[in-house]
Amino acid sequence: MVNLIWAFMAIIGIVYAMFNGTMDNVNQALFESANEAVTLSIGLISVLVFWLGLMRIAEKAGLLRSLTTLFKPLVTRLFPEIPKDHPAMGYILSNFTANLFGLGNAATPMGIKAMEEMKKLSGSDHASRSMITFLVINTSSLTLIPTTVIAIRMQYDSSAPTEIVGTTILATCVTTISAIIVDRLFYMRRVRKNKS
């Protein structure tokens, strides 16, 4: 699926440019975005090194396990495939916590660690059920305080920059809950398909 989407985006773009005389823009976009991707990846090094280092200490100190114990009832329901005391749980929870506080920088390294642990559990290069649930919750965004948006609103002299916090939290809740429900429906469909 992702192969098709990836190829089609480029194919459609190039073919479209042939008929609309925008080939110059395509060339420019090509090299600018490649540059941007390298800058972004290199920029990720600082964040990844720092948070993975700190998280390793937290893990060794048993803090991840305490976090898991705290939220056990919730996460075991969301991720029935993951054994209760597995390190994946700790990383999933740290990722969710970081997201809730708007620490996007910290959330990514912990999320990647969580994926790694889940891959160890499934042992294949196919997305496992828990991985899909985890990512779908992430894509629906868990932010409580949308700091970037508030900053933009302040920049354009909003009379109440934080006014949208309430609606954002409400919309986030709806999206996350629907994401979990849709995820469950698709999982049930997969199970039914495999049976027949």
Partner 1 sequence: MSLITTISTWIIPCIILFVLVVATMKKLPTYEIFVEGGKEGIKMAISLLPFLLGMMVSIAILRGSGAMDAMIAFISPFLKAVGVPSEIVPLAAIRPISGTAALSMTTELIKTYGPDSFIGKLASTMQGSTDTTLYILTVYFGAVGIRRMGDALKVGLIADFIGIIASIVIVTIVFSG
The 8-class DSSP code of residue 23 comes to H
Draw the binding track, 42-71, toward partner 1 (x: CB under 8 A; -: no contact). Answer: x-xx-xxxxxxxxxxxx-xxxx--------
Q: Which residue stretch of 68-76, 79-87, 101-109 sits at the interface with partner 1 (rule: CB under 8 A)?
A: 101-109
Q: Among 81, 84, 183, 194, indicate the residue that binds partner 1 (CB under 8 A).
A: 183
Distance (Å, whole) CA 163 – CA 147: 12
Q: Among 65, 76, 121, 135, indicate the residue that binds partner 1 (CB under 8 A).
A: 135
Distance (Å, whole) CA 104 – CA 120: 25
* Residue 100 makes contact with partner 1 by CB under 8 A: no
Q: Tell me the backbone φ, ψ of residue 90, rounded to 5 degrees.
A: -60, -45
Q: Among 83, 84, 85, 139, indicate the residue that binds partner 1 (CB under 8 A).
A: 139
* Residue 141 makes contact with partner 1 by CB under 8 A: yes
* Residue 83 makes contact with partner 1 by CB under 8 A: no
Q: Among 73, 77, 123, 160, indicate the residue that binds partner 1 (CB under 8 A).
A: 160
* Residue 179 makes contact with partner 1 by CB under 8 A: yes
Q: Residues 137, 179: contact at Cβ < 8 Å?
A: yes
Q: Tell me the backbone φ, ψ of residue 148, rounded to 5 degrees.
A: -60, -45
Q: Residues 94, 67: contact at Cβ < 8 Å?
A: yes
